[in-house]
Amino acid sequence: MSDWKSNPPKYVIVSPVRNEEKFLEGTIKSVVGQTVKPVEWVIVDDGSTDGTAGIIDRYAEQNTWIRPFHRPNRGFRKSGGGVVEAFNDGYKSLLCKDWDFVVKLDGDLSFGPEYFEKILERFIAESALGITGGTLYSLQEGEMAMENNPRFHVRGATKVYRRNCWEQIGGLWPAPGWDTIDETSANMRGWVTMSIPEVHATHHRPTGSVDGSWRDSVKHGLACYIAGYHPLYLLASSVYRLIRRPYPVPFVGGFYGFFCGYFNHVPRVDDPALIKFVRKQQIKRLMGQETIWR
């Protein structure tokens, strides 16, 4: 056993979940079976109306390092901001204060027993790595396929933050787009963000499947507005999305969401330097230059 495994870094997990009765038990079993376990795991029941709360409580009774946090039911699903609100409640309730890494983990994933061990190994090997996670695979048109993203992007379902990076970016922005804002903020400060290709997790409820194609596309456009995307980059990426099924929906929905944010004066990320950085990176991508969007 290597030195770091005999005295592993401390990582904590916070999982905001809502109505995850179908998949949550699989996620819990994946974490319980890890070769390097977290020192604490707060599972936040965000007002579930199914059997989610009971599953959390049952496993918490069996594992002292799992703690339930039950929030009242707000009466509706609040995309983006609701997830961050639930995460923040769980984060503030953590008993462990000297952690080295914090994990935001959804309740619809499953992965092998060495998942977090491999992630910690990468953090130890690369001191500039600020945010990482496994590469997600989901069932697409009857086959398991990788969920593609820009190289700097780590899916919001499974994100691991180095403590110094976490403190520098100031946590998560409570709105759609939070899982891009954190990464662009980290990159602006000199950190590296990336998914690890050889570390896999299965996403049992693929991104957008809960909201449906139209609502997911509108949410994507709104998230782009909040994160400070350049309109020209949005246009280019929307044209690219025209080839995705259902063909016109991602294009039209993305533009609709973006301009709804603009005309409704939805608050953008409150960091002019970050918006300038994001737009500069996106223009470089359009010009074929070196950029985080590659």
pLDDT digit string (tens) for 18-55? Answer: 999 999 999 999 999 999 999 999 999 999 999 999 99
- Closest to 281 measured CA to CA, from 290, 272, 269, 268: 290
Nearest-angstrom CA–CA distance, 185 and 92: 22
State the pTM of this model: 0.92
In terms of DSSP H, where are the helices of the chain?
3-6, 24-32, 52-62, 81-92, 115-125, 163-169, 178-188, 213-226, 231-241, 248-263, 272-286
Lowest mean pLDDT among 38-52, 139-153, 190-204, 255-269: 139-153
* Mean pLDDT lowest among 78-92, 112-126, 185-199, 274-288: 78-92
The whole-number pLDDT of residue 1 equals: 40
Provide mean pLDDT across the span 113-129: 98
In tens, the pLDDT along 51-101 reads 999 999 999 999 999 999 999 987 666 666 789 999 999 999 999 999 999
